[in-house]
Chains A and B, each alone.
Chain A
């Protein structure tokens, strides 16, 4: 910089947010964990040491490598059908992560669009959207999901559908509330006075200013979505065997819990670690992006 300026250098909202986020060590560490899981999910076929579907009854309930009777070719032991638990966990990451990402993306887009329209347009659109949101919020999450899954039948696509039906509600509420506040800002009025149409105002004036809140809500929901998917799979309503899902792996191991604790416990730990990492990362994101939301 040759010319000294009395004005601080230009920093966009995003740049400032990212700088604050990078300064938060636990958030950065958690993000690395989440990224690690993402890499596992993407590269599962190349990383997994064994075929996750290959059964070998001779290795039935073989313990992890560090316990007597275990071997390092099957580091985390085998399940009731003699399948390698580590390989199944790695492949299970795919299910959890992809369902989490797809549901978050779809529900956030739907919720944001409806929330913007309801909050900006008000009137009939607002009444309809808000009442549907209220009705959906009235159902307990898991019972709603179980009921709908029972009607539609299990399967990956159905799980995603059911979760999206329930999940768009939250971003929608938040976006609507933020839009109600943003539409009263003078710069929205100024845009109207300059001849901008409703769509342009929603997308160019309001959305950029509430984007950080949307990102925070979306990442927070991702952890819950992964838990709900695991719960549904645990109950047998989710991903169907033999596709490995952490929830169904926990369920499979239940009957051996006293003799072979690792079959259920290890996928349980995987769920715990991923959900914790996402929560910590999104907490850091919230503190950096939307300090007003901090309790």
Chain B
């Protein structure tokens, strides 16, 4: 990376207090996104992907709390900002789309109200009324809603799932943020619509020149659209690097497992191998490698703590055999 990163997360640690002690959901995560870059964040449910980016926006609610780490956006540490400064940043500079497009729009208001509200709240050079409404219609057109002049006065339940996801993207992009966090943008959608929404996101990123974090549990989704990729497991980043290289030659056995567990178009006869075992309960983790119990190449040395080491130029992996 040559340009200074737009977003840099260093040593992020987010915990949730429970009756039986703190559960560490995100443990020492380091990530960086350059301006205009798309970072894919992949991992199973509960691997800490969403919590990481909720922490970035200060959206983690009690009993959860961000315990340590730096979150640098444009060189400013978001954790040191006052709540009102952070609030002004949300939506304006960093926007986020939610996992479930079907419930992420307020059912009580028309799309027009919700879009205009966002525009007016962040005052993108417009006070009220006509200008904001025209801008809202323009945004809907941009995300590919047909007949935006008419549909803008519809309620969310009158849109299909894919259309609602588009509306949500329109709202998130309304203020031209510099970073978009797309949290599982395609999970609630069927496959043909998924591709449309991903294309839309890629197009928007190119048009607006914004950085993007694409969170997904689907390696296939991320592999095609992102320059770089970060694989998360049990609250830690286990491998990062340019997507093409990581997919072609994964250095961490978990990434390898993920790749083997999806069917291949080039070699349809290759058997699909699921990763044996389950994601560990975060309250039972020790200091050693967290993938160890499920790892096919685990050995005695895996019980010692291991950092995210450089595996080759531009690539890092959290495995003692990563260099091999």
Contacts and interface: CB of A to CB of B under 8 A. Distances in A.
Interface of A: 5, 7-8, 10-13, 122-123, 185-187, 189-197, 200, 204-205, 208-209, 211
Interface of B: 57, 59, 62, 84, 87-92, 95-100, 103-110, 117-118, 121-122, 150-151, 153-155, 158, 168, 171-172, 181
Given A8-B158, A12-B155, A193 B105 contact: no
A208 B90 contact: no
A191 B171 CA distance: 10
A195 B91 contact: yes
Contacts of B153: 10
A195 B62 contact: no
B154 A189 contact: no
Nearest to A207: B108
Given A192-B59, A196-B121, A185 B91 contact: no
A122 B64 CA distance: 14
Given A192-B90, A194-B95, A194-B118, A10 B110 contact: yes
Given A186-B100, A190-B171, 9 more contacts: A12-B110, A13-B107, A186-B103, A190-B96, A190-B104, A190-B168, A195-B87, A196-B91, A209-B106
A200 B118 CA distance: 11
A7 B158 contact: yes
Given A7-B158, A193-B96, A194-B171, A205 B106 contact: yes
B315 to A, nearest CB: 31
Contacts of B104: 186-187, 189-190
From B88, B107, B153, name the one whose CB has the most chain A CB atoms within 10 angstroms: B107
Contacts of A209: 106-108
A204 B103 CA distance: 16
B117 A204 contact: yes
Contacts of B84: 197
A266 to B, nearest CB: 45
Contacts of A190: 96-98, 104-105, 168, 171
A193 B122 CA distance: 13
B174 to A, nearest CB: 9
A10 B155 contact: yes
B104 to A, nearest CB: 4
A182 B279 CA distance: 30
A194 B106 contact: no
Contacts of A8: 158
A124 B122 CA distance: 31
A112 to B, nearest CB: 16
B37 to A, nearest CB: 21
Contacts of B100: 186
Q: Which 7 A-B pairs have the closest CB atoms?
A: A194-B91, A195-B90, A195-B91, A208-B108, A193-B96, A186-B104, A186-B103
Contacts of B108: 13, 208-209, 211
A50 to B, nearest CB: 50
Nearest to A8: B158
B42 to A, nearest CB: 21
A195 B89 contact: yes
Nearest to B156: A187
